[in-house]
Amino acid sequence: MKKDIHPDYHMIKVQMTDGSQFETRSTWGKEGDVLKLDIDPSSHPAWNGGNQRMLDAGGQVARFNKRFGGLSLKK
């Protein structure tokens, strides 16, 4: 391997939103720093099955239904 081109890996602590922590190796920060997460798998709806509702931002769904609502695949 070439010298002086690889990042410095060191141990940091990652703090989850519920306050729990774990140690991992990273290139972020410096040795012993604590990375505090705003969103993690325990709080993000994509991982914990959060709200599954469709938001009609600016009437886009209504506009789509008005424009294409009369179409059907029947022959």
Tell which phi-psi region holds residue 13, choosing left (phi > 0), alpha (psi between -120 and 50) or beta: beta
Range of the domain at 21: 11-39
Which pLDDT score, from 0 to 100, does residue 55 have? 62
Overall number of domains in the chain = 1
Cβ 31 vs Cβ 8: under 8 Å:
no
pLDDT in tens, 29-67: 999 999 999 888 877 777 777 655 556 666 777 888 888
Give domain status of residue 19, yes or no.
Answer: yes
